Structure 1
Amino acid sequence: MEPSAAFDSPQALADALTGTAYLADEGLATVTWLAHRLERPLLLEGEPGTGKTALAEALAQLQGVPLIRLQCYEGIEASQALYDWDFPRQILHLRAVETAAAANRDGHSVGSSEDLEAELFDERFLQARPVLRALQEAPCVLLVDEVDRADDEFEAFLLEVLSTWAVTIPELGTVRARTPPLVVLTSNRTRELHDALKRRCLYHWIEHPGLERELAIVRARLPEVAETLAREVVEVVQQLRADEGMVKPPGVAETLDWARALAALGHSRLDPEVAAATMGAAVKYREDAERVRVALDRILTR
């Protein structure tokens, strides 16, 4: 089921995403709907924890298709995203052929080197990595996560694949997607991506949500959390984000983690002592923890 076919408008897609507990605003729903309708990759940038990865997961769930994830990191190479050959199995096959030939079992012979090479580079020895899998298994959602961690050469490789929806394997030929996968690229903007890649994509910056939207997200994702507790957690997180001195303000993911932790401990309200004991779910830097400890009494005892 494709969003462009099943949903006649961005609002219809947003409503359907709500059923997966993902709340998309009008801008995000529109660009996502267009990405599938126009068969264009979707590039999402924003602070960590704002729901970039979660959108790809929600889209795969909504469509009932596989989610194939490529986690980028410094030094990643095209082969780690595309394919590799199963070298140990190739060696075992080669030894089996040599053993059979030596024993002349059933008149078997090794044959020409060309025949043997063709056997060794048969598709059964091919290990498909995420990009190749996405082309083979489409329709699917291909999540290229934290693409800003990769280098320029890897960006160029991605650009070529996203332009043609095909890759060439010298030993086997060209693999082309019958249906282009829905590609979602995420970036935390640790570096600027090249214009060529951005031009190939539809772009959207995901902001931290406002108080009411974030509260709605917590209620949708964590219905077991008491309403009072959910509101108090969201209010505290919103104020922490407003503190420009924080190294890394908490994202929505941290809000959810904090509310989940408090509920697991049986709390229905948030007070300074409880907040200080559990804030490791929301704050990940020592410098921020010190600032939050000072601020908690002021925030929660107004």
Structure 2
Amino acid sequence: MPAVEITQEEVREGLRRARYVTVPRVETAVFVALVLEKPLLVEGPAGAGKTELAKVLAAMLDTELVRLQCYEGLDETRALYEWNYQKQLLRLQADRAGASWEALSRDIFSREYLLERPLLHAITAPRRVVLLIDEVDKSDEEFEAFLLEVLSDFQVSVPELGTIPARHRPVVLLTSNCARELSEALKRRCLHLYVDFPGVEKEAEILALKVPEADERLRQQVARFVGRLRKLDLKKSPSIAETLDWCRALLALGVHGLDAAAVRQTLSLLLKHEEDVRKAESKVPSLLADGR
């Protein structure tokens, strides 16, 4: 029996209802991950919609999204659990009956004094959740190795309490911006999906859903311009979210058709590095060609 009873058509319709513009291989990967109870590793450039997929998945399943944001130096205490030392100290100070250390230790190292972090919360939640392990490539290899226990058996070990199995196996989605190569051991435990920036037509479709007040002409111009912009050698290509914000900014400024003046006036809203802005400014005419 699959962990989530859902059909491929229901996945497709759920993503569309959540206004997530997708392609068949994304729908297929999500469906297979759900029915096989396998973590889904989603790789691709920053801003291509990987994190949004987890948010949409939680909304589609009508459940909680538990997010673990990875970073260099992340360890078990921030990801799994830590003890509430202040509460433990207060308990020790309040013990006026002279209880034995054995009795006290059983008390202060019980679940009452445990602070759940995202991983532990995800497997002990009263109902199935979506666990997002975001930007796993930013974490250290040591932390990646630690994740294997969770992703292999969906259980965690707490020395003072023993092994804690999952009450409900979470739906797990990991994202990576490909900053470093992930281990083969981690990849073996996951289904894999690569999400790239959308093409012009798909991005125009996203704009139609997210910025419906923009007319079709402006949506096409924005999508075409951003698509060409991403082909430049930039430090940071515009994300989908930045494209949406740029389109909204153009409308706020009363711009309903792209021209060189409007682009140069607002380019810094789309590109966040001055070096990229200067590089793009010199190419505005060619980037706008046939885009009006």
TM, length-normalised to structure 2: 0.93
What 5-or-longer segments of structure 1 have no aligned partner? 102-108
Deviation at 1:299, TM superposition (A): 3.0
Whether 1:205 and 2:194 are equivalent positions in the alignment is yes
Deviation string, structure 1 residues 57-91 (Cα, Å, up to 9, x no partner): 00001111000000000111122110001111211
Q: 3-state SS of the aligned residue for 1:54? A: helix
Deviation at 1:301, TM superposition (A): 5.9
Decide which of 12, 17, 29 is 2:15's aligned counterpart: 17
Whole-angstrom CA distance in 2 between matches of 1:21 and 1:162: 29
Matching of residues 192-231 of structure 1 within 5 Å: 192-231=181-220
Whether 1:263 and 2:279 are equivalent positions in the alignment is no
Q: 3-state SS of the aligned residue for 1:268? A: coil
Deviation at 1:287, TM superposition (A): 1.6
Whether 1:114 and 2:114 are equivalent positions in the alignment is no
Decide which of 264, 269, 276 is 2:264's aligned counterpart: 276
Deviation at 1:140, TM superposition (A): 0.5
Q: CA RMSD in A?
A: 1.7
Whole-angstrom CA distance in 2 between matches of 1:27 and 1:217: 18
**1:64 is matched by which residue type in structure 2?**
D
Q: Is the 8 A contact 1:72 1:149 kept in 2?
A: yes
Q: 3-state SS of the aligned residue for 2:185? A: helix
Whole-angstrom CA distance in 2 between matches of 1:49 and 1:92: 46
Q: Is the 8 A contact 1:14 1:23 kept in 2?
A: no
Whole-angstrom CA distance in 2 between matches of 1:270 and 1:3: 48
**1:69 is matched by which residue type in structure 2?**
R
The structure number with the bigger radius of gyration is 1
Tell me the number of residue pairs that the alignment of Structure 1 and Structure 2 aligns: 288
Deviation at 1:247, TM superposition (A): 2.4
Report the identity percentage.
42
The answer for the alignment partner of 1:5 in structure 2 is 5
**1:130 is matched by which residue type in structure 2?**
P
Whole-angstrom CA distance in 2 between matches of 1:261 and 1:145: 28
The answer for the alignment partner of 2:77 in structure 1 is 79
Deviation at 1:288, TM superposition (A): 1.1
Whole-angstrom CA distance in 1 between matches of 2:81 and 2:67: 14
**1:249 is matched by which residue type in structure 2?**
S
Whether 1:242 and 2:240 are equivalent positions in the alignment is no
The answer for the alignment partner of 2:148 in structure 1 is 159
Deviation string, structure 1 residues 173-230 (Cα, Å, up to 9, x no partner): 3221132101000000010000010010000111221111111111112223333222
Structure 1 segments, 4+ long, off by >4 Å, are none
The answer for the alignment partner of 2:62 in structure 1 is 64
Whether 1:136 and 2:124 are equivalent positions in the alignment is yes
The answer for the alignment partner of 1:125 in structure 2 is 113
Q: Is the 8 A contact 1:246 1:288 kept in 2?
A: yes
Q: Is the 8 A contact 2:124 2:168 kept in 1?
A: no
Deviation string, structure 1 residues 95-119 (Cα, Å, up to 9, x no partner): 222xxx2xxxxxxx12111111122
Whole-angstrom CA distance in 1 between matches of 2:107 and 2:156: 21
The answer for the alignment partner of 1:232 in structure 2 is 221
**2:75 is matched by which residue type in structure 1?**
E
Whole-angstrom CA distance in 1 between matches of 2:202 and 2:183: 32
Whole-angstrom CA distance in 2 between matches of 1:248 and 1:205: 18
The answer for the alignment partner of 1:146 in structure 2 is 135
Whole-angstrom CA distance in 1 between matches of 2:77 and 2:275: 39
Whether 1:175 and 2:164 are equivalent positions in the alignment is yes
Q: Is the 8 A contact 1:68 1:141 kept in 2?
A: yes
Whole-angstrom CA distance in 1 between matches of 2:175 and 2:39: 11
**2:141 is matched by which residue type in structure 1?**
D
The answer for the alignment partner of 1:105 in structure 2 is none
Whole-angstrom CA distance in 2 between matches of 1:287 and 1:258: 19
Decide which of 173, 176, 182 is 1:187's aligned counterpart: 176
What 5-or-longer segments of structure 2 have no aligned partner? none
TM, length-normalised to structure 1: 0.90
